[in-house]
Structure 1
Amino acid sequence: MQFSSTSNYIVADELALAVQAAVTLEKPLLLKGEPGTGKTKLAEELAASLEVPLLRWQIKSTSKAQQGLYEYDAVSRLRDSQLGSDKVHDIANYIKPGKLWQAFTASERPVLLIDEIDKADIEFPNDLLHELDQMAFHVYETGEQISAKHRPIVVITSNNEKELPDAFLRRCFFHYINFPDAETLAKIVDVHHPTIQRDLLETALEVFFDVRKLPNIKKKPSTSELIDWLKLLLVEDIGVKDLKESNGLMPMFGALLKNEQDVQLVEKLAFMSRRRER
């Protein structure tokens, strides 16, 4: 299996090799990196390039590992029992398959995305160790053993909000997506804004990287935020001259700066720069 850049997604050589290694080893691919560096997009594009289904399990702070296997709706069964429904005689009517169950029983090899695993409780990854390792689990209510027909390609993303357990990490192939350099960012921008003028792109990238390099900035702008900012510049017909002559905050700064501390920081640095120029 070969995975490379597509018309919608630019993938670095190191990331393409990581995908290949995880598939070869039959291990989950654990992706870390700054928010907005394309971790989730990789799973989407991988499924599209292989022309296979994508099953996405979006993890929240309240997510439990059991939900990925199945959920037993005891309340509905009790209600149907009180109403005299014949459904209650088959407990399978109240078993709702989760994303792992769907992946294991898919008719073709799917891509299973477990997105933002670090949002859940610390025990969440440990609770999935056996299922991801053995690609099987037991349904206690029905006595079934659900085993993978085709071993899914598992992509797990993390934003490093919590440390993941060592036992879980041992079972994954790990790759950290470094923030792209200016050349790679220009290629990514070209996918989304192919008609953008080169001089505007170069100037915008200079401003973008200057913001990311600011000392004490609370939230560095991401790739996705750069794409949004450039879209606004194009829609509002803001050119190179407008970017270079802005005396304070850059035009449409709300696409790049997402909290008041960073806005105040940029304003302060711009003010100090103007004073030095006088």
Structure 2
Amino acid sequence: MSRVRFEGTESYVATPDLIVAVNAAVALERPLLIKGEPGTGKSVLAHEVARALGAPLIEWHVKSTTKAQHGLYEYDAVRRLRDGQLGDPAVHDVANYIVRGKLWEAFDSDVRPVLLIDEVDKADIEFPNDLLLELDRMEFWVHETRTTVRARQRPIVIVTSNNEKELPDAFLRRCFFHWIRFPDPETMAKIVKTHFPGLKKQLLHEALTSFYELRETPGLTKRPTTSELIDWIKLLVVEDIDPVTLRSRDGKTTLPPLAGALLKNEQDVHLFERLAFLHRRQTS
């Protein structure tokens, strides 16, 4: 197998420790388990790894109702029954009613793919364990056709989790783990510049200062993420907001302009309203 290395892309600022984690998982031929708070680029990482390596990307978005079997295949017995009632000759070959899942699609790829198993912790606690055998052996048995599906080459598997529930130890042992830390201001500035190359330094500085002040407000129920910062800066540019406006506000008691791009629930808006009220009482 040819050795491949991920070094980041022009549109994705990967920290050195993240680059090491991706390449370690590829070298070990183990799934890369990525955790981190929402908005830190966990899912986007798979897209960028696929782009950097010139590999096809296969995405399996996990839901609360997702079962491991869905990733292998599903047998459409209802359609076969209906076709039988209509006299369709296709009913004589059960293979016509096998619907391939994302794992089968990855196993059958002519080119080594990147398989994203997104938000694995949304499913039932047994979901990760039910995939252990297939991810270890890179094969599975199709009962209806009595055939074995084997991977043409081992896909690069990236698994994301929002840490909503603990994952089984047996699954964790088979993964290479990496926690994506929320970007510090220096890294965040690089991320913003990839989206807004011509952004004025003063606006970038004031926007990041306001953003981190808001994130650090005690009692905030949902801290704004990187994607929300990008949306906010886009609005600041579109509305031609003067950076002085951001600098002049009291970051601990008042909201920045267009704050609806950053705060997404009424509890946090009310928090700032109370802080502003208390601030006025103290200064009056």
**TM-score (normalizing by structure 2):** 0.95
Structure 1 residue corresponding to 2:122, chosen from 119, 122, 140? 119
Change (3 A) 1:148 1:38: same
Q: Could you tell me which residue of structure 2 aligns to residue 207 of structure 1?
A: 210
- Matches of 2:185 and 2:279, distance apart in 1: 24
Aligned match for 1:232, one of 231, 235, 244: 235
Q: Which runs of 5 or more residues in structure 1 are unaligned?
A: none
The answer as to 2:245 corresponding to 1:242 is: yes
CA distance in 2, matches of 1:144, 1:86: 22
Equivalent AA in structure 1 for residue 271 of structure 2: L
2:139 counterpart residue number? 136
Equivalent of 2:67, from 64, 68, 83?
64
User: What's 1:8 paired with?
Assistant: 11
How far did 1:8 drift? 0.8
Letter in 1 for 2:187: T
Given candidates 265, 273, 276, the residue that maps to 1:270 is 276
Classify the secondary structure of the residue corresponding to 2:145.
coil
Aligned partner of 1:201: which letter? L
Which stretch has the larger CA shift, 240-249 or 135-144? Answer: 240-249
Residue by residue, what CA displacement relative to the aligned partner does 1:51-104 show, whole Å, maximum 9, x if unpaired? 110000011111111010001000000001111110000000000110000100
Q: Distance in 2 between matches of 1:51 and 1:271?
A: 55
Q: What are the residue-to-residue correspondences of 1:33-182 with 2, within 5 Å? A: 33-182=36-185
State the distance in 1 between where 2:261 and 2:131 align: 37
TM-aligned CA deviation for residue 246 of structure 1: 4.4
Opposite residue 210 of structure 1, the aligned amino acid is E
For residues 196-236 of structure 1, what are the alpha-carbon distances to aligned partners after superposition, in whole Å with 9 as ceiling and x for unaligned?
11111111111111111111110111011100110011111
Distance in 1, matches of 2:232 and 2:281, equals: 28
Q: Which runs of 5+ in 2 are unaligned?
A: none
SS of aligned partner of 1:157: strand
Cα distance in structure 2, aligned partners of 1:36 and 1:267: 26
Deviation at 1:13, TM superposition (A): 0.2
Give the Cα–Cα distance (whole angstroms) in 1 for the partners of residues 276 and 192 of structure 2: 27
RMSD value over aligned CA atoms?
1.2
Question: For the Cα contact (< 8 Å) 2:5–2:53, is it kept in 1?
Answer: no
Q: CA deviation at 1:274?
A: 4.4
Contact kept? 2:116, 2:158, Cα under 8 Å: yes
* Distance across 2 between alignment mates of 1:102 and 1:48: 18
Q: Which amino acid aligns with 2:273?
A: E
- The partner residue of 2:29 within 23, 26, 30 is 26
Query: Identity of counterpart residues, as a percentage?
Result: 62
CA contact (8 A) 1:111 1:155 kept: yes
- CA–CA distance in structure 2, aligned partners of residues 148 and 121 of structure 1: 26
Give CA-to-partner distance per residue, 1:144-186, whole Å, 9 cap, x none. 1011111000000000111111111111000000001000000
Q: Residue 5 of structure 2 aligns to which amino acid in structure 1?
A: Q
Equivalents in 2 of 1:134, 1:239: separation in Å? 58
Deviation of the 1:277 alpha carbon: 4.7
One-letter amino acid of the counterpart of residue 259, structure 1: N
